[in-house]
Amino acid sequence: MSLDDRSKLLRRYVVDAMRGGGRGHLGSSMSMIEVLRVLYDSVLKFDALDPELADRDRFILSKGHGCLALYAILADKGFFPVSELESFCLPTSRLGGHPERGKVPGVEASTGALGHGVPIGVGISLAMRLQKRKSRVFVLTGDGEINEGSNWEAAMAAAKHKLSNLTVLVDYNKLQSYGRTADVLDLEPLSDKFKSFGFVTHEVDGHDVSALEKIFKKLPFSKEAPSAIICHTVKGKGFPFAEGNPEWHHKSGLTEDDFRKMYECLQ
C-alpha cells in the first residue's frame, strides 16, 4: 500500500528528529505511524493547549522505544513546536529516547521498560470509571513486548472489571529487536489469546487509514468488556531498505548519505 502525503510528512518529521540526534528506532516507529495518525486525527479527545484537560482521552505508548512516532504526531498537533524535533536526544532536550510524563506535553506515561503500558492503562481506566468520566484509554503495545507476563495479568484485571473504556492496540510487525517474533517466542494464535482473556478482539491492516478509521468508529466493541485491535504492520514501513529488516530496529552513527536515502523514499 502506497503512502499518502500525510503519512510521508509524519515520517519526514521522524527522520528530522533522527538527524538531529544521530540515531533512533526507525523500524519501531514507522510501523505505527498510521495507527497514531488516525487516533490523533479522528479518535482521541484532547487539547494541545491544555494537555492536562481532565476529560481528555488517554493514549499510552507502551513500546516507549518507538517514541519518535509519538513525538512526530504530538508536534504535528501543536503540543510543542515541530522545530523542536531536531533536538531529539541532545543533552539539553526534553525529547529523549523514551517518552517521559511531566516533561513532554501530551505524554501520558513514562515508558521504555516494556510491559508496563497495559497495567498503567488498566489503572487509569478504573480511575476514569470511579470518577464517572467518559474518557477512553488507548494503549499501544509492541508484539515483542507482549512476551512480558505483566500484560496478561493486566488483561485479566481488565476483563474482570469489564473495562469497556480500555482499548489495547498491538503493533504486530512480526519482528522484535533481534529477530522474528515467531522464532523468539511465537504469539500465535494471538487473536484467540486476547479473546480467551476476555477481550472483544478484531484485526486490521495497520497501514490502511480507511480501515483503521472504520474499526475505531466501532469502539467500544462491547459495553461489558475491554477491546483489543491487532494491527498488522510492517517494521520500517516506507523505507524499502528497512522494511522487515531487524537491523533497523535501532540505528546509531547515521551518516548524511543514510539520511539522503531516507528523504528520497519520502518524495
Q: What pLDDT score was predicted for residue 65?
A: 97
Q: In what order do the strands lie in the sheet with 166-172?
A: 58-61, 137-142, 166-172, 227-232, 200-205
Helix axes 149-160, 117-130, angle to 10 degrees: 20
Residue 145 phi, psi dihedral angles, 5° rounding:
-65, -30
Strand partners, 60: 139
Q: What pLDDT score was predicted for residue 178?
A: 86
Q: What pLDDT score was predicted for residue 223?
A: 97
Q: What pLDDT score was predicted for residue 2?
A: 84
Q: What is the CATH number of the domain that holds 166?
A: 3.40.50.970
165 lies in which domain range? Answer: 5-46+53-265
Instruction: List b or e across 41-73, with b for residues whose CB sees 16 or more CB atoms inside 10 angstroms.
Output: eebbebebeebeeeebbbbbbbbbbbbbbbbbb
Contact predicate 73/10, CB 8 Å: yes
* Regions of the chain short of the pLDDT cut 70: 1
- Report the DSSP pairing between strands 179-180 and 175-176: antiparallel
Q: What pLDDT score was predicted for residue 207?
A: 98
Q: Is the pTM of this model over 0.85?
A: yes
Overall number of domains in the chain: 1
